[in-house]
Amino acid sequence: MNPYLDLLRDILDNGVEKGDRTGTGTLSVFGRQYRHDLAAGFPLLTTKKLHFRSIANELLWFLRGDTNTRWLKDNGVSIWDEWATESGDLGPIYGAQWTAWPTDDGPVNQIDYVVETLRNNPDSRRILFHGWNVGFLPDEAMTPQDNVRAGRMALPPCHLLYQFYVAGGRLSSQLYIRSSDSFLGLPYNTASLALLTHLLAQQCDLQPGEIIVTTGDSHIYLNHLEQVRTQLAREPRPLPTLHLRRRPATIYDYSFEDFEVRGYDPHPPIPAPVAV
């Protein structure tokens, strides 16, 4: 994942200092892109250990259409706790928009549309889904919890547009991230995109191709600068591989036990505070 590490160097070298919603402050650049061929390995960072259980179970949670942290907690994931209400609610965030986008004619499952189109019209230029539903975006003047109580999202989607492309029997995907916490969040988003691409490829009788990550505001929080420098001083190691142990009936029927990551030998994790 050298392109990701190059992005961190780019932000350190060229980023401008900007304020942000959390009050932490960032170094920021705008409009970046990197790509990775999944035939070269599964993109779990090796310069610091990532918690694959959180990455995988969060994606499965999105695909369930779930917006409460209860299932995540039951499956060993706490990454959404800071934004949830006392009962674990997060409002109509990612999963709700992915699988039940509200329309006058009833909810639309965008994931079903993607799977159906990949199977029946793989040359379509409309194979995409997104989560930027302006009717449910939060009020930035309110806390995440108060937004949820008002029927809005706890946070607006950061990874908001996914598009898919088939050529030569290979499925490639591109993700647009409007706001990218490049030290903590971006490695998770990259691995999650890769995992989703593997699942869709298996369900649609395709081979995993390339993933492309495009970012808008790409930033490093000012309280992550030392952690970034520590990571960049480490030598990358070979990427692991992902193996799917079975092919369930639908994309909604995977479980964490279906995924096997082989050969993951990363450097130790690098703790850093989450900007809330």
- Given a cut of 80, whether residue 130 has pLDDT beyond it is yes
Q: Percentage helix, strand, coil, to 5, in the chain?
A: 35, 25, 40
State the chain's mean pLDDT as an integer.
97
Has 51 been labeled as part of a binding site? yes
Distance CA 220, CA 8 (A): 8
pLDDT at residue 273, as a whole number: 83
Has 74 been labeled as part of a binding site? no
Q: Rounded mean pLDDT of 239-256?
A: 98
How confident is the model over 166-224, as pLDDT tens digits? 999 999 999 999 999 999 999 999 999 999 999 999 999 999 999 999 999 999 999 99
Active-site residue list:
158
* Pairing mode of beta strands 26-37, 241-244: unpaired
Has 11 been labeled as part of a binding site? no
Report the range of poorest mean pLDDT among 22-26, 48-52, 88-92: 22-26
Has 181 been labeled as part of a binding site? yes
Rounded to two decimals, what is the model's pTM?
0.97
Cβ pair 263, 238 in contact under 8 A: yes
**Domain coordinates of the chain in residue numbers?**
2-262
pLDDT at residue 234, as a whole number: 97
Q: What is the CATH number of domain 2-262?
A: 3.30.572.10
Has 275 been labeled as part of a binding site? yes
Distance CA 154, CA 256 (A): 26
pLDDT at residue 272, as a whole number: 87
Residue recorded with tokens 């991230």 = 177
Q: Rounded mean pLDDT of 229-244?
A: 97
Has 109 been labeled as part of a binding site? no
- 13 forms beta bridges with none
Has 218 been labeled as part of a binding site? no
How confident is the model over 71-112, as pLDDT tens digits? 999 999 999 999 999 999 999 999 999 999 999 999 999 999
Has 152 been labeled as part of a binding site? no
- Given a cut of 90, whether residue 22 has pLDDT beyond it is no
Nearest to 117 by CA among 80, 162, 149: 162
- 262 forms beta bridges with 241
Helix and strand element counts for the chain (H, E): 8, 8
- Given a cut of 90, whether residue 50 has pLDDT beyond it is yes
Cβ pair 80, 101 in contact under 8 A: no
pLDDT at residue 251, as a whole number: 98
pLDDT at residue 25, as a whole number: 94
Helix (H, G, I), strand (E, B) or coil at 29: strand
pLDDT at residue 113, as a whole number: 98
- Given a cut of 90, whether residue 228 has pLDDT beyond it is yes
- Given a cut of 80, whether residue 276 has pLDDT beyond it is no
Q: What residue ranges in 16-89 does DSSP mark as E strands?
A: 16-18, 26-37
CA atoms within 13 A on the CB side of 106: 1
Has 223 been labeled as part of a binding site? no
- Report CA-CA distances (Å) from 206 to 122, 127, 154: 10, 15, 36
pLDDT at residue 90, as a whole number: 98
Has 264 been labeled as part of a binding site? no
Please, which pLDDT band fits residue 20 given cuts at 50, 70 and 90?
confident
First to last CA, the chain: 27
Kindly state the tokens that stand for 157: 């989607």
- Given a cut of 80, whether residue 43 has pLDDT beyond it is yes
DSSP designation for 101: B
Indicate the angle between helix axes 2-14 and 185-203, nearest 10 degrees. 150
Nearest to 201 by CA among 21, 53, 42: 42
Kind and range of the H or E run holding 61? helix 52-64
Phi first, then psi: what are they for 57, rounded to 5°? -70, -30
Please, which pLDDT band fits residue 142 given cuts at 50, 70 and 90?
very high
Percent of the chain with pLDDT over 70: 100
